[in-house]
Amino acid sequence: MFTAEVKITLKKTVADPQGLTVQHALESLGFTGLAGVRMGKFIILQLNAEDEVKAKVEAEEMSHKLLANLIIEDFSIEVYPESNRGVKQS
C-alpha cells in the first residue's frame, strides 16, 4: 500500500482572490512580512499499487484526468510507502 499526496495549486498566472483575502486578514492581524498567499488543495490517495513507481504513475493519471484542471491549476505528487507516511524517502 502506498500513499500519494497530491498538491494542487492555481497556476502562477492565475489570480487567487481567496489567497489575497487571507493575506489581507493576516496583515490586519499584524503579520507584516507577507509577500503573498496562495491557496490550494491537498488530496491524500491510498493506492494498492505494486511499487512506488506504479503508484506515482497512477496518481499522475488521476490528477490529469480529474483531480486538477490544468487550464488553471498545477499539481505535484509525493509518494510514500504506507508505513513511512509523512517520512520523505531519499
Partner 1 sequence: MKFGVVVFPGSNCDHDCYDVVADVLKQPVEFIWHKETKLKEFDCIIIPGGFSYGDYLRCGAIARFSPIMEEAIKYANNGGLVIGICNGFQVLLEAGLLPGAMMRNTSLHFICKYVKLKVENTDTPFSSQYKKGQVVRIPIAHNEGNYYIDEKGLAQLKKNNQIIFRYVTNPNGAVDDIAGIVNTNRNVLGMMPHPERSSELILGSQDGVGIFKSVLDWLATR
The residue among 18 and 48 lying less far from partner 1, judged by its C-beta, is 18
User: Judged by CB under 8 A, which stretch of 10-18, 26-34, 50-58, 81-89 contacts partner 1?
Assistant: 10-18
Distance of CA 46 to the CA centre of its chain: 15
To the nearest 10°, report the CA torsion of 84, 85, 87, 88.
100
First-to-last alpha carbon distance for the chain, in angstroms, is: 19
15 touching partner 1, by CB under 8 A: yes
In this complex, which beta carbon is closest to partner 1, that of residue 1 or of residue 64?
A: 64
At 34, phi and psi to the nearest 5?
A: -90, 130
The nearer residue to partner 1, 38 or 52, going by C-beta atoms, is 38
Provide the residue count of the chain. Answer: 90
Q: Name the site residues for partner 1 (rule: CB under 8 A).
A: 13-15, 17-18, 21, 66-67, 69, 71-72
